[in-house]
Structure 1
Amino acid sequence: MHPTKKLIACAMISALFAATPGHAQEGLARQDQLQELTVDLSGISTRVKTAVNQTMLSMQNLQDYSGDEQTAQAFAALDTIEAETREVIDKIKVTSPFMSALDDARATVVVLLRKNEREPPSPARDARIAALTTSLASIDEQSQKILAAEGTLTSLLASHAQMRAELIQNGAVRAVQGFVDDLSTLTDGLEDMANVLAEISDSIVEVPPEASLAAN
Structure 2
Amino acid sequence: MKNTPPHIVTAYEDALKRLKSGIVQMAGAAETQIDQTLACLTQRNPDLAREIVDADLHLDSFEHEIEASCMRMLVLRQPVADDLREVIGALKIAGNLERVGDHAKNTARRSVELVEGPDGPPIGSLPALGRLVRERLTAVIDAYVDRDVEAALRIWRSDQEVDELYTSLCQGITESGRRSGEQFTQHMHLLFIAKSLERIGDHATNIAEVVHYVSTGRPLLEERPQSADRNRSQD
Same fold, TM-score > 0.5, yes or no: no
RCO (CA 8 Å, sep 6+): is it higher in 1 or 2?
A: 1
Length-normalised TM-score, structure 2: 0.29
Length-normalised TM-score, structure 1: 0.31
